[in-house]
Amino acid sequence: MADDRVSRRRFLQSAAATVAAFSVVPRHVLGGPGQEAPSSVITRGSIGTGGAGMGHVLENKEGRPPVQLAVCDVDKNHLARALAKAGSGCKGCGDFRRVLDRKNIDVIHVATPPHWHALITIAACRAGKDVYCEKPMTRFIREGRAVADTARRYSRIVMHNTYGRGGVWRKVRRLVTSGLLGSPLHVYLGPATGYGFKVRSWSGRRHLVPQVVPPELDYRMWLGPAPVKPYHPHRVHGSFRGYWDYDGGGLTDMGQHWIDPVQYFLGKDGAGPVHVETDAPWPAHPEACGMWGRIKLTYADSTSITLESGEWGRPREGRTPFIEGPKGAVFRDPKRRNLTTEPADLFDRLAACTEPPEMIGFAEAVKTRCRTPGHKPNAAEAHRSVTLLHLANISIRMGRPIRWDPEAERILGDEEANRLVDVPMRAPWRL
């Protein structure tokens, strides 16, 4: 009986402790109706908290589990603003590797300048994190292949923040696959169809006078894998887009928004052009991105995409089809952005055609481990679409057309141009 009394006593003590514990634990910790348990919360670390980066920082809500657990920036002023926005439960640092060390972080949002995108995404995948990365995906072509291969090898969800592939683009994809337009198809992206590239806005300045690095900025870490150049404020914080060392001008800044859904609805996610020609001032500046007028990318099946900036060279005249085939055309109003067709009933005739697969968002992909199809491009898709823009910039910089092998991912017969496909990184950084 003594042993029995001790057992009952211990049981009652244990039960009392359990009740006490439940009485002070917040309801959200337990989950249940109207409450999300911590195990289902996707926790986040944000790397890069400048202009675009602040949009990737969430506000932790009082009385709920913190979601934004870490922010990282090499500019202390940016970091302070991000910490103030995130609130309680978030910690800050200046080295992205400290964020990746955190075992309690599920996903990483990358909003640094593009010359850091690949390295951070690859490191995050290796650390077991899923990644949501800003556009453009990469600074040069081989980086994209390395990211896509790493995401696949480590079975990570990686998506890139373009304007997306859903909505009307699924309808256009359905039209293309129906054959109602015929083939080959020709796509036009420019002011005549409602697309701009901010070419002048994101052209770099020349003859920058070196200035003193501000005390809040870790400039060497900001440069990272890029060559060491004297500090000037126009190289960093937004206007970095105008310099080859960090980005590719307005073409890559806006271009992946526009060209990624085109790759999708043309069914070219696993392909690439075989010929690229450009019309731009020559010679191109060795450091500063500059103006261009026209780019034409042609695939092996004679499908083509033409980009026009409307900011240099002779502007296009007359009504311009957005998509044109031998059997019909799609027009996009540059102001209202609505689509019409010739013949006028092309969209009506899609009723009997198969719908493209439904798309999911990043959060759903993370929770379900489903990788395709996504509203935003995955690593392999984004690599293919940004490659078109990098190839165009290489042609602009070389001042000549280039021939591309999309299988080998190599420029044919032009070793000088091939050096811009795989750009050396500053030690100790490497793919």
Q: What total of structural domains would you count in the chain?
A: 2
> Which of these three, 127, 161, 195, is where a domain ends?
161
What amino acid is encoded at 410 in this protein?
R
Q: How far apart are CA 142 and CA 387, in angstroms?
A: 9
Say whether both 144 and 173 belong to one domain. Answer: no
Query: Is position 323 within any domain?
Result: yes
* pLDDT mean by block of 10 residues, the chain; 431 residues: 42 39 38 52 97 97 96 98 98 98 98 98 98 98 98 98 96 96 98 96 96 98 98 97 98 98 97 98 97 98 98 86 98 95 96 89 95 93 98 98 98 98 97 94
Domain that holds residue 193: 168-418
The answer on 335 and 305 residing in a single domain is yes
Q: Please identify, among 161, 193, 214, the residue that sits at the C-terminal boundary of a domain.
A: 161
Beta-sheet strands, E only, within 200-241:
none
pLDDT for position 21: 37
DSSP H helices in 76-218: 76-86, 96-100, 114-126, 141-153, 168-178
Q: Contact, 291 vs 311, CB < 8 A?
A: yes
Cβ–Cβ under 8 Å, residues 122 and 150:
yes
Q: What is the pLDDT of residue 134?
A: 98
| Same structural domain, 408 and 358 | yes
Considering the domain architecture, whether residues 182 and 55 belong to the same structural domain is answered as no
pLDDT score, position 38: 52
In whole angstroms, give the CA distance from residue 268 to residue 303: 10
CATH of the domain at 216: 3.30.360.10
Tell whether 179 and 149 lie within a shared domain: no
Q: Is there a single domain that holds both residue 340 and residue 359?
A: yes
Do 136 and 244 sit in the same domain of this protein?
Answer: no
CA distance 58 to 64: 13
Whether 249 is in a domain gets the answer yes
Same domain, yes or no: 244 and 371: yes
Residue 424 in any domain: the answer is no
Residue 425, domain member (yes or no): no
**Is 11 a domain residue?**
no
How far is residue 107's CA from residue 130's CA, in Å, rounded to a whole number? 5
- Calculate the CA 353 to chain-centre distance: 31
Question: Residue 112 is part of a domain; what is its CATH number?
Answer: 3.40.50.720
d(CA 217, CA 298): 43
Are residue 78 and residue 126 in the same domain, yes or no? Answer: yes
Other C-beta atoms closer than 10 Å to the C-beta of 3 total 7
- If asked whether residues 157 and 222 sit together in one domain, one would say no
Of 111, 129, 161, the position where a domain reaches its end is 161
In a domain, 68, yes or no: yes
